[in-house]
Amino acid sequence: MKLGLLIAIHISLYTGLFWLFPYHELGFALGIGSVMIWISVWDMLTFEIPDSATAMLALLAAAWLWFARPVMIWDHIAGGVIWPLLFWGIAALFERARGEVGLGFGDVKLMLPIGLLCGALASVHVVLIASLAGVLLMGVNGVLRRDRVENQALALGPFLVASGWAVWLALG
């Protein structure tokens, strides 16, 4: 897929979700959404998530927590700690059982800012939505290409950030 089209699709998706769940802090939304689009496009093209993008998203999430939600800060901090550890454990178990990497470390690190933004409990929705969307896309792709799902690679980052964006906006 061409880069310009990929970026346009992402901007349309993120803008549509923003208008569906109007958020009051436009500055944070623009910054967070822009970094999420960067992460998503880059991961789709390279199957890698830049550390600098994850760090920037984590800093924006921490700043948002500090300025917008100081009362709920402990749930969000717990989300930023628990979810990366869960993903790391799942990745390690999968690699040990299958002998190959199934969940990249970029996805593990990405759960820190997503957990900070959405909190420990709401991040369950993020992971569920991202997983279901990824499985659905792989199934459709498998049918269209007549390829086995096991033979397909999936960049999970775009699904995580898009569902994280939707859940964060829905929480308002």
Provide the residue ranges of all domains of the chain, joining segments of one domain with +: 3-171
Q: Length of the chain, please?
A: 172
Question: What's the pLDDT at 149?
Answer: 66
For 33-78, the pLDDT digits (tens) are: 999 999 999 999 999 999 999 999 999 999 999 888 767 889 999 9
Q: Give the closest residue to 43 by CA, choosing from 9, 14, 6, 88.
A: 6
pTM for the model = 0.91
Q: CA geometry: angle at 27 spanning 110 and 43, to 5°?
A: 30
Q: CA geometry: angle at 152 spanning 168 and 45, to 5°?
A: 60
Question: What's the pLDDT at 138?
Answer: 87
| Residue 44 tokens, joined | 């789709």
For 89-112, the pLDDT digits (tens) are: 999 999 999 898 888 999 999 999
Cα 57 to Cα 6, 28, 53, 64, 112, distances in angstroms:
20, 11, 6, 10, 9
Listed in sequence order, the residues at least 6 apart from 56 whose beta carbon sits closer than 8 Å to its beta carbon are: 35
Mean pLDDT of the chain: 91
| Residue 138 tokens, joined | 């792989």
Contact 127, 110 (CB under 8 A): no
Question: What's the pLDDT at 27?
Answer: 87
